[in-house]
Structure 1
């Protein structure tokens, strides 16, 4: 009965809007991908071909497109990971039929728009230094190793643990900050989610910022990590695995096998 009741509530208009947002975000990312023949051409001819094809001007001229890509990516990847918290909010305001849902989600996504701005600056800086190819993928073995090992080490940090605790127990989070109202709680929720996931999101520079398979896998990992039972046994093994991959990249480079 409880499951049936939950499913009925999640057919409400605010939930349909939420699912539409996610579908549109992933659809936009798919549309923004290069066709396979152009990907091959970009890899063959390098950044000059890409710039001539897309008419991207030097410097900050390409920033709006990069920001749009990161903003859509953040919405597509992070909105689904907030589902348990949003469902808990709905349980708490059942009589209000989703009252404040939009404000809560807006605050959450606003934080990730801020992350998108920072990621845009990082991508422009790394690309300008010759560390990324035109598809947003690291071409520097040391940057790749640093991103992997850094994300792995962050899995063991107290900040990550603190943020995950709030994400895994949204009821406690909402009770603690209920007096803030939905918008401010959304901002807080976005901040703790950012604290959980920013390092894993930064791995987009390893797999490529427009690699949908890579991003989809990362989204699934971040969703599972926020589930109390699964996340408790996933977080640290994932950290060990990422650090091992980072060291493996370094060893392969020093051994001349790359």
Structure 2
């Protein structure tokens, strides 16, 4: 017997308002809890280059927690839109489990990027430890890369997906049922990584556990994806990063994440 397929979402196929409200509240509560954990952890960690002495598994746990804090508010509308697509085929606990799989797949994509981030941070620490003056040029390069990426075609394509994912969700509805929700979340997460990795790069000079920088970037991510003028904000942030790239070689105070701790 062939596997049943989910029909594409039709107008009027909506979750009850209570379910929509519950989904939003759950996402925001998870993001809020992740912020509490991140802030608490940041108080016990020094602002220094590299992986802050963390082993890879611990770093990934911390990284995923940070991504829940920073990304869940902007991911929630997509997860809820997907819930509308599957709403007629699942109810109650089954629907919640499918949304959880979507979120899990999304975080898998960011965890994979966390592996890359860990390697880059470890290399940064070795370079700065051997040549302390290299920090200012690494910082300039990070801001330059992030600024240029804001104007690049890949950023534009990924941001378009994140701002209007409905056409992709319709295509996802035709996937075979095996781990479909997990794969949908991972696929959307890869687009989100493509949209936001340039923003994450600036945490190298600003500090991976710099809570103020994380909060500012989370605000940028949210507005880029959901605000009417989000694409204009993308360009404005790109210009700001390029200005910082020109300034940081002469302003060490802009590089708290690349200064070696004083003995």
TM-score relative to the length of structure 1: 0.77
Aligned positions, number: 227
Matched residue SS, 2:159: helix
Name the structure, 1 or 2, with higher relative contact order (CA <8 Å, separation 6+): 2
Residues 84, 17 of structure 1: alpha-carbon distance in 2 compared, 3 angstrom cutoff: closer
Matches of 1:211 and 1:223, distance apart in 2: 18
Moved more, 219-228 or 67-76: 67-76
* Runs (5+) with no aligned partner, structure 2: 1-11, 253-263
Partner of 1:92: 85
1:79-116 CA-to-partner distances (Å, cap 9, x unmatched) read 22212211212332333343621111111111011111
Matched residue SS, 1:76: helix
Partner of 1:125: 123
Contact 1:70–1:116 at 8 Å: present in 2 too?
yes
Choose which of 144, 149, 155 in structure 1 pairs with 2:150.
Answer: 155
Partner of 2:198: 199
1:42-65 CA-to-partner distances (Å, cap 9, x unmatched) read 88xx99xxx9xxxx5xxxx73333
Partner of 1:102: 100
1:231-250 superposed matches below 5 A: 231-250=230-249
Matched residue SS, 1:104: helix
Residues 158, 214 of structure 1: alpha-carbon distance in 2 compared, 3 angstrom cutoff: same
Q: Say if 2:42 is the partner of 1:33.
A: yes
Give the C-alpha shift of residue 233 in structure 1.
1.7
* Runs (5+) with no aligned partner, structure 1: 133-137, 254-258
Contact 2:146–2:198 at 8 Å: present in 1 too?
yes
Residues 182, 62 of structure 1: alpha-carbon distance in 2 compared, 3 angstrom cutoff: closer
1:138-153 superposed matches below 5 A: 140-153=135-148
Matched residue SS, 1:82: helix
Matches of 1:189 and 1:237, distance apart in 2: 25
